[in-house]
Amino acid sequence: MKAEYDLSKMKARKNPYASKLKKPVTMRLSEDVVLYFKAMATEAGVPYQSLINLYLRDCVAKHRKVQITWPARV
């Protein structure tokens, strides 16, 4: 291994992973939902935000849709 490398002749190039970067968002989640994912994340040994992302990514991959039924107004 050389003691020093000359990087001045290197050409710049685009980051091939830039399109896969995560986008920071702010979400309001129920406390019980956060506690649920934190507990699962602790068991799995991963950060809870990563676990939530994996779960949502799985929903996207399987084209899951939430079925919402609102109570009828009286």
Question: Residue 60 sits in which domain range?
Answer: 29-65
Residues 6+ apart with CB under 8 A from 44: 51
Residue 13 lies in a domain: no
Q: How many domains does the chain have?
A: 1
pTM over cut 0.85: no
In a domain, 41, yes or no: yes
Neighbours of 48 (CB within 10 A): 17
In a domain? residue 8: no
Decide if 53 is inside a domain. Answer: yes
Q: What is the pLDDT of residues 26-59, one digit of tens each?
A: 999 999 999 999 999 999 999 999 999 999 999 9
Question: Is 74 a member of any domain?
Answer: no
